[in-house]
Amino acid sequence: MNLKMERYDLNDTIAAIATPPGESCIGIVRISGRSALVVADRIFVSKDKKKPSAFKTYTTHYGWIVKEVKIIDEVILTVMRSPKSYTKEDIVEINCHGGILALRAILDWVLENGCRLAEPGEFTKRAFLNGRIDLAQAEAVLDIIRAKTDSALKIGIAQLKGNLTSVINNLRQDLLDILSHLEANIDFPEEEISTVDLKAISHKLEDINKKLEDILDNAKQGRILREGIKVVICGKPNVGKSSLLNALLRQERAIVTPLPGTTRDTIEEVIDIKGIPIRIVDTAGIIEPRDLIERKAIQRSKKYIDLAELVILLFDGSKKLSREDEVLIKKLRRKTIVAIINKMDLKQKIEKDKILKRFKGVINISAKKLKNIDLLESTIANLIYNGKVSCLESIMVSNLRHIEAMRMAKKLIAEAVNSLDNKLSLEFIAQGIKDALIYLDDILGKSFSQDLLDKIFSEFCIGK
C-alpha cells in the first residue's frame, strides 16, 4: 500500500456521536478500538451489575452511564467484538436519549476516560484500513448516506455489497494472467511466444477493454442518478411556474396567487422524477423590473437559467403569445428545453402552431388540475437518458474517481493491443498492462496516497 501508516494510529480508541444533531427519541455514541470495552467498564453500570467486558458479542444491555456517583442517562449498551464488527475492532454503542445535552455529556465522559474524538469518516476509514471493505465500498457508504432517490440508493447498496469490486477483481486477474505469460517469455526468451498465442493475448485484451467500455457506457447514467441534474422552470409572470413546482413536488411549496410577479425570488427543491434526483428551481418571472427587489430576483433567475442543464419553458395557454414570450424563446435558443403549454383546463387562445415551429414537441398540462404531470415527468426522464431505459441490474459506476481510473486503464489496454498488432517489444506491452493495473488498483484502494484518503473521508460526517 502506498501509505505511511504512522499518519493513522490504529492503536487509539475513538469515539463520536453517530446520530444527527437535534432532538430525537434515540441518540448514539459510538466507541471503537482496543480500549472500547475498558472505557465501557468505567462508565456503564448494568442492571445485573455485570461489566461490558464480560458481555457476549452482539448483545445489548440495559443500565446507566454514571459519572462518579451521578447518573448521566439511562441507556442501552451494545457490544460488538473484534473482528466481526464494522471496523474489525471492538465496538461499543451507547443508545441514550436523543437530546443534545445527554449526548454531549456522555461523549465528554467517554473522552475523559481515554478515548479521542474521531475524525470525519474515521470509523469507515478504519473498516478500510483493517481490510473489512475496500476503498470503493467505503465510498459507497457515503453514496448511501447522500442518496436522494431509490435508484441512487440501489447503486450505493450494490457497490457496498461488492458488485463493482467483483468485476474489477476479475478484470485484474485477467490482466495479471496475461502479464505473467508475457513476463515469462521476457525472462526466458528462448521460449518464444507463438503468433497464435500473441493473437489470443490480443483477443483477451480486447475482451477486457469491451467490458470496461460497457461499464463506462453506463457511467453517465450513474452520475445522473448519483448527483442529479439542474432544471429551471422559466416563463413570464403568471404562467403557472409556482403551480407546476407544487404539482411536481406533490405539495404546496410555492405561494400561488392570481397576481403576476408573486414569486420574487428563486425557490429550489430536490425531487425524484423516475428515479432521477432533480434539483429544480422555480424562478421569478422574467419581466422589466419595477423595483430593486425584482431586479435582484431577475438577475438571480438569469444566473440559474445559465447554469441549468434543462429548462422547462412555460406558456399560458389561455392567452396569446406575447412579446415577453418571444423574448424568452430567443434568449433560451441555446438551452435544452421542454416546452409546456399550461392551463389546458381553460379556453385555449395560444397560437400553438407558432410554438411547434420552434420546438420539436410541446406538452399540454394543467398544473392546477394535475393533468399530464406524469407525461411531463416521462418526457424529462427520456430527455435526460436520451431515450435509454434505466437498467440498475447492470454494473453502474457513478463516482468520478472510478470513471477516470477506468478510462485511463481502458486507454492503456487499447495501446497494448495496438502495440501487439504492430509487433512492438513485449517489455513495452507488459509495462502498459502494469500501468493499467495501477489504475484498477486505485479504484479498490490496493494502492493509495494519504491525500486521497484525506479527501475521501473528509466528506463523511464525524460519527460514520
Average pLDDT of the segment spanning 379-399: 68
Written as nine digits, the cell of 354 is 407558432
Domain with residue 321: its CATH number is: 3.40.50.300
| pLDDT confidence bin for 290, thresholds 50/70/90 | low
Whole-number Å distance between alpha carbons of 45 and 65:
6
In a domain, 454, yes or no: no
**Contacts for 396 with CB less than 8 Å, ≥ 6 apart:** 155, 158, 218, 219, 221, 222, 225
For residue 17, what are the CA distances in angstroms to 87, 99, 117, 416? 16, 12, 9, 50
My answer on whether 214 and 181 are in the same domain is yes
My answer on whether 270 and 367 are in the same domain is yes
Average pLDDT of the segment spanning 286-308: 65
For the chain, give the mean pLDDT. Answer: 86
**CA nearest neighbour of 223 among 379, 455, 400:** 400
My answer on whether 41 and 66 are in the same domain is yes
Q: 26 versus 268: which is more confidently predicted?
A: 26
In the DSSP assignment, the letter for residue 255 is: -
Longest distance between any two alpha carbons in the chain, whole Å: 89
Q: If you count DSSP H runs as helices and E runs as strands, how many of each does the chain have, helices first? A: 16, 13
Asked whether the predicted pLDDT for residue 193 surpasses 70, the reply is no
My answer on whether 199 and 269 are in the same domain is no
Which residues are registered as beta bridge partners of 73? Answer: 65
My answer on whether 343 and 232 are in the same domain is yes
Whole-number Å distance between alpha carbons of 6 and 17:
25
Asked whether the predicted pLDDT for residue 303 surpasses 90, the reply is no
Which residues are registered as beta bridge partners of 117? Answer: 15
Please classify residue 455 by burial: count the beta carbons closer than 10 Å to its beta carbon, then call 0-12 exposed, 13-18 middle and 19+ buried.
exposed
Written as nine digits, the cell of 322 is 406575447
Is 31:14 a contact under the CB 8 Å cutoff? yes
Average pLDDT of the segment spanning 253-268: 50
385, 411, 428 - which closes a domain: 385
Q: Is 97 left (phi over 0), alpha (psi -120 to 50) or beta?
A: beta
Domain with residue 65: its CATH number is: 3.30.1360.120
Written as nine digits, the cell of 431 is 509495462
Please tell me the predicted confidence (pLDDT) of residue 2.
44
Please tell me the predicted confidence (pLDDT) of residue 387.
47
Average pLDDT of the segment spanning 394-402: 82
Place of cell 495501477: 438
Whole-number Å distance between alpha carbons of 221 and 154:
13
Q: The pTM is what? A: 0.77
Instruction: DSSP for 40-89, please give it.
Output: HHHHEEETT---GGGSPTTEEEEEEEEETTEEEEEEEEEEE-TTSSSSSS
| pLDDT confidence bin for 254, thresholds 50/70/90 | very low
Q: 221 versus 321: which is more confidently predicted?
A: 321
CA 229 to chain centre: 13
My answer on whether 246 and 197 are in the same domain is no
My answer on whether 285 and 403 are in the same domain is no
Please tell me the predicted confidence (pLDDT) of residue 388.
44
**Contacts for 166 with CB less than 8 Å, ≥ 6 apart:** none
Whole-number Å distance between alpha carbons of 381 and 141:
26
In the DSSP assignment, the letter for residue 273 is: E
**CA nearest neighbour of 375 among 273, 246, 256, 251:** 273
My answer on whether 36 and 174 are in the same domain is no
Question: What are the pLDDT digits (tens) for 360-376?
Answer: 789 999 999 999 999 99
Is 284:298 a contact under the CB 8 Å cutoff? yes
Whole-number Å distance between alpha carbons of 276 and 141:
19
Q: Say how many domains are in the chain.
A: 3
My answer on whether 283 and 170 are in the same domain is no
The SS3 call for residue 97 is: strand
Whole-number Å distance between alpha carbons of 283 and 232:
7
| pLDDT confidence bin for 424, thresholds 50/70/90 | confident
Question: What are the pLDDT digits (tens) for 318-339?
Answer: 999 988 888 888 888 888 889 9
My answer on whether 234 and 351 are in the same domain is yes
Which residues are registered as beta bridge partners of 363? Answer: 340
In the DSSP assignment, the letter for residue 261 is: T
Domain with residue 426: its CATH number is: 1.20.120.430
My answer on whether 129 and 264 are in the same domain is no
In a domain, 422, yes or no: yes
In a domain, 33, yes or no: yes
Domain that holds residue 338: 228-385
Question: What are the pLDDT digits (tens) for 141-190?
Answer: 999 998 888 888 888 999 999 999 999 999 999 999 999 888 887 776 65
Asked whether the predicted pLDDT for residue 283 surpasses 60, the reply is yes
Whole-number Å distance between alpha carbons of 262 and 226:
33
Whole-number Å distance between alpha carbons of 181 and 123:
41
My answer on whether 151 and 236 are in the same domain is no
* Per-state percent for the chain, helix, strand, coil, to nearest 5: 45, 15, 35
Is 73:65 a contact under the CB 8 Å cutoff? yes
Phi, psi of 280 (to 5 degrees): -105, 140
Place of cell 406533490: 250
Whole-number Å distance between alpha carbons of 428 and 413:
12
